[in-house]
């Protein structure tokens, strides 16, 4: 990154409103409060006292997986994703587990793993199928992505709220319209709440299953590469596992019977002990996404909108938040161009300079 925000003097303390306390709003609140700005965070779903809101962020897998997600974003985002992991390690180091992640496939599906490897630089194409002993006999083909990390969203978001309170952030359990002009800046992080103002935004449903299986353990997220039922499984405390997730072009609620069956049979194919697992929850979340599935920072007057985080809210929100803080303080951030998108621009990119002059 360019200048370190934490070492340089702040020009002026600004009065900033943030609408939305998902991972984007909380990350922005952290980056801006830490710099000494006066931040008020609005979200009607947030309980009084600032406990995390029940939104898409609370439902996420919490994987910080820039390489495993390479089929869903251009390679230029890998570096930003690695930066995201670094920022998380500064914000809530106790919540981050950096044991990498493992991609596996049944023997008949190994071609999918081989095809996936082609997206990665040769030095990242490492096999390590013995890393997860309960899977190593059945799945001999594997890909180990050792820089990747994961976190559990609920305790991490709670911790982040605590840190924000300590930094003096003001929590308001109510809506706020970014059209109001009574703050120096408004950071619009409403996720799907912004669809009325942003016709490009759409919802992509992700269905998840949470189970407890005392006969099984994992040290890292595992992705099963499968032609019809790709699945990931993220370990949490107490032998609890989050299994996800479908990518359905719909913003409707609820989990279909078919998706439930597919998730459960793919899970059972991973290890037979899941036959006796206890189902704790089965639910769906809506990911805010733009047509290119890439997140955007857009600026209009004093409103800075950060949205479209799709499958990568935990991975990329902290990086976008630092871009916003650096932008407000007129500092260079090498990632800002990555997030600026303009549909009228043939290559969908604008330089930081143009972004500033648009403000």
Ligand X SMILES: Cc1cc2nc3c(=O)[nH]c(=O)nc-3n(C[C@H](O)[C@H](O)[C@H](O)COP(=O)(O)OP(=O)(O)OC[C@H]3O[C@@H](n4cnc5c(N)ncnc54)[C@H](O)[C@@H]3O)c2cc1C
Does position 311 bind ligand X by CB under 6 A? Answer: yes
Work out the burial of residue 238: count CB atoms within 10 Å of its CB; fewer than 13 is exposed, 13-18 middle, 19 or more buried: exposed
Does position 100 bind ligand X by CB under 6 A? Answer: no
Q: Which stretch binds ligand X (CB under 6 A): 39-47, 126-134, 268-276, 325-333?
A: 39-47
Does position 245 bind ligand X by CB under 6 A? Answer: yes
Q: How far is the CB of 153 from ligand X (least distance, A)?
A: 8
Q: In the complex with ligand X, which residue's Cβ is closer, 310 or 327?
A: 310
Sign of CA dihedral 256, 260, 261, 266: positive
Q: How far is the CB of 9 from ligand X (least distance, A)?
A: 30
Q: How far is the CB of 154 from ligand X (least distance, A)?
A: 12
Rounded to 10 deg, the angle between the 313-328 and 76-91 helix axes is: 80
Distance of alpha carbon 302 from alpha carbon 326, whole angstroms? 15
Q: Pick from 202, 287, 296, 331 the residue near ligand X by CB under 6 A.
A: 287
Q: How far is the CB of 142 from ligand X (least distance, A)?
A: 20
Does position 315 bind ligand X by CB under 6 A? Answer: yes
Full 3-state SS string of 321-348: HHHHHHHHCCCCCCCHHHHCCCCCCCCC
Contact mark string toward ligand X, 174..193, x via CB under 6 A: -xx------------xxxxx
Q: Kind of pairing, strands 38-42 and 15-19?
A: parallel
Does position 22 bind ligand X by CB under 6 A? Answer: yes
Q: How far is CA 200 from CA 30, 194, 218, 288, 345, in A?
A: 27, 10, 39, 10, 15
Q: What is the separation, in whole angstroms, between the first and last Cα of the chain? A: 22
Q: Which stretch binds ligand X (CB under 6 A): 104-112, 273-281, 283-291, 322-330?
A: 283-291
Footprint of ligand X on this chain (CB under 6 A)? 19-25, 42-45, 53, 55-57, 59-63, 175-176, 189-193, 206, 208, 244-245, 285, 287-288, 307, 309-315
């Amino acid at each position: 990154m360019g200048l370190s925000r934490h070492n340089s003097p702040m020009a002026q303390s600004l009065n900033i409103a943030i609408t939305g306390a998902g991972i984007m709003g909380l990350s922005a609140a952290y980056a801006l409060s830490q710099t000494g700005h006066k931040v008020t965070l609005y979200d009607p779903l947030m309980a009084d006292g600032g406990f995390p809101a029940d939104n898409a962020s609370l439902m996420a897998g919490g994987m910080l997986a820039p390489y495993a997600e390479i089929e869903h974003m251009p390679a230029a985002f890998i570096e930003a994703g690695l930066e995201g992991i670094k920022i998380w390690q500064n914000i809530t180091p106790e919540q981050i587990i950096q044991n990498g992640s493992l991609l596996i496939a049944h023997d008949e599906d190994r071609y999918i793993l081989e095809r996936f490897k082609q997206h990665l630089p040769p030095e990242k194409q490492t096999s390590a199928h013995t890393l997860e002993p309960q899977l190593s006999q059945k799945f001999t083909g594997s890909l180990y992505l050792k820089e990747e990390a994961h976190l559990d969203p609920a305790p991490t978001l709670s911790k982040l709220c605590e840190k924000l309170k300590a930094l003096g952030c003001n929590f308001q359990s109510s809506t706020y319209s970014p059209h109001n002009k009574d703050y120096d800046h408004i950071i619009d992080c409403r996720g799907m709440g912004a669809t009325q103002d942003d016709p490009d935004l759409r919802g992509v449903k992700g269905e998840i299953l949470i189970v407890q299986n005392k006969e099984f353990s994992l040290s890292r997220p595992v992705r099963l590469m499968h032609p019809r039922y790709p699945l990931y499984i993220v370990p949490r405390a107490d032998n609890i596992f989050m299994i996800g997730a479908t990518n359905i072009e719909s913003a409707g609620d609820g989990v279909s019977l078919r998706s439930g069956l597919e998730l459960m049979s793919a899970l059972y194919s991973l290890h037979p002990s899941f036959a006796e697992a206890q189902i704790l929850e089965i639910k769906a979340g809506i990911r805010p996404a733009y047509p290119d599935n890439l997140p955007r920072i857009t600026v209009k007057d004093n409103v800075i909108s950060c949205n479209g985080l799709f499958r990568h809210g935990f991975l990329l929100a902290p990086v976008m938040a630092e871009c916003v803080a650096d932008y407000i303080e007129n500092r260079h951030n090498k990632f800002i161009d990555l997030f600026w998108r303009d549909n009228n621009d043939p290559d969908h990119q604008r330089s930081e300079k143009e972004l500033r002059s648009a403000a």
